[in-house]
């Protein structure tokens, strides 16, 4: 289930901008957050400043190429809707993006290198493996 939440974060642009940038090299915190916001805005189909379960489903379906299981959507949504108001707001998404960047920026220089991104990804996967 935790890997599903990682997939949801990727789907809403929390790490996707970094993954795309990695082919070109490091990415600054400013660029990372701006690209994440653009991804969020693209997923906000009705442009109301929030992502609904239906919009989340559409984003993940688009990225996966097929519709995810409802329990996947429910789990991701519950983890991301931190105030439990039935929507993922731009502020909730930005906070997650900011925290993700700061955690991955191992040397705290305001830039993520491909190595830092890979280390953060590997740590997240390892942390969510059954023991």
pLDDT at position 100 over 50: yes
Q: What pLDDT, on the 0 to 100 scale, is given for residue 47?
A: 95
Structure tokens at 119: 């280390």
Q: What is the mean pLDDT of the segment spanning 99-126? A: 89
Q: What is the mean pLDDT of the segment spanning 47-69? A: 90
Q: How far apart are CA 125 and CA 33, in angstroms?
A: 22
User: What does pLDDT average to over the chain?
Assistant: 82
Q: What pLDDT, on the 0 to 100 scale, is given for residue 23?
A: 58
> Which of 51, 108, 122, 115 lies closest to 82 in space, CA to CA?
51
pLDDT at position 11 over 50: no
Domains of the chain with bracketed CATH: 2-127 (1.10.238.10)
Residue pair 68/60 in contact (Cβ under 8 Å)? The answer is: yes
Confidence of residue 80 (pLDDT cuts 50, 70, 90): confident
Helix (H) or strand (E) holding 97, with range, is helix 90-104
pLDDT at position 129 over 60: yes
Q: How far apart are CA 35 and CA 28, in angstroms?
A: 11
pLDDT at position 14 over 90: no
Q: What pLDDT, on the 0 to 100 scale, is given for residue 52?
A: 95
pLDDT at position 89 over 70: yes
């Amino acid at each position: 289930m935790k890997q599903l939440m990682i997939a949801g974060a990727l789907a809403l642009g929390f790490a996707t901008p970094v993954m795309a940038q990695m082919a070109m090299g490091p990415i600054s915190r400013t660029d990372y957050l701006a690209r994440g916001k653009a991804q969020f805005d693209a997923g906000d189909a009705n442009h109301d400043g929030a992502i609904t379960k239906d919009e989340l489903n559409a984003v993940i379906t688009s990225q996966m190429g097929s519709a995810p299981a409802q329990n996947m959507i429910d789990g991701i949504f519950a983890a991301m809707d931190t105030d439990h108001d039935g929507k993922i707001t731009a502020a909730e998404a930005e906070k997650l993006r900011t925290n993700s960047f700061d955690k991955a920026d191992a040397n705290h220089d305001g830039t993520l290198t491909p190595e830092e991104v890979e280390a953060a990804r590997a740590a997240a996967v390892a942390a969510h493996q059954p023991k």
